[in-house]
């Protein structure tokens, strides 16, 4: 049973940057796909980015070129570097993984393990 804990959220002005971390315990996710998802109040959960176990990333169009997903297998930690933040990026951000090498941001229900989320607020 994997446990995922996000950190690094906070409030930032538009155009600023944040780096989210996702620390895993109970198991390693080096052989699993992992991803970042977000949800704003009153809206459905949406995918942000995923990273296959072979290192291949996938981004949704709204964050492509601004966000970077990565992981450090030695630290059992995943990251989401967010640059050029916009007010529409404001949401609760969740880290997730599943026991398979492959996943995509548009299939959040494929994910088996979820963190509790970290809030990101971007002001104009």
Tokens 């992992």 belong to residue = 34
Q: Is 123 left (phi over 0), alpha (psi -120 to 50) or beta?
A: beta
Distances (CA, A) of 29 to 9, 24, 61, 90: 22, 7, 26, 27
The confidence score (pLDDT) of residue 29 equals: 86
Q: What's the pLDDT at 99?
A: 94
Predicted confidence pLDDT, tens digits, the chain (124 residues): 899 999 999 999 999 999 999 999 998 888 999 999 999 999 999 999 999 999 999 999 999 999 999 999 999 999 999 999 999 999 999 999 999 999 999 999 999 999 999 999 999 9
Report pLDDT for 100.
96
* Closest C-alpha among 82, 99, 91 to residue 34: 99
Residue by residue, DSSP assigns the chain as: --EEEEE--EEEETT--EEEEEEEESS--TTSEEEEEEE-TTS--EEEEEE-TTS-EEE-TTTTTTEEEEEETTTTEEEEEE-S--GGG-EEEEEEEESSS---TT-GGG--EE---EEEEEE-
């Amino acid at each position: 049973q994997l446990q995922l804990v996000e950190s690094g959220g906070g409030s930032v002005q538009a155009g600023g940057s944040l780096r989210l971390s996702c620390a895993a315990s109970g198991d390693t996710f080096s052989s699993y796909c992992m991803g970042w998802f977000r949800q704003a109040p009153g809206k459905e959960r949406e995918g942000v980015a995923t990273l296959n176990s072979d290192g291949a990333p996938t981004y949704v169009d709204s964050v492509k070129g601004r966000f970077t997903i990565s992981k450090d297998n030695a630290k059992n930690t995943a990251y989401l570097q967010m640059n050029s933040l916009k007010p529409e990026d404001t949401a609760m951000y969740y880290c997730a993984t599943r026991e398979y090498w492959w996943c995509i941001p548009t299939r959040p229900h494929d994910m088996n393990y979820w963190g509790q989320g970290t809030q990101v607020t971007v002001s104009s």
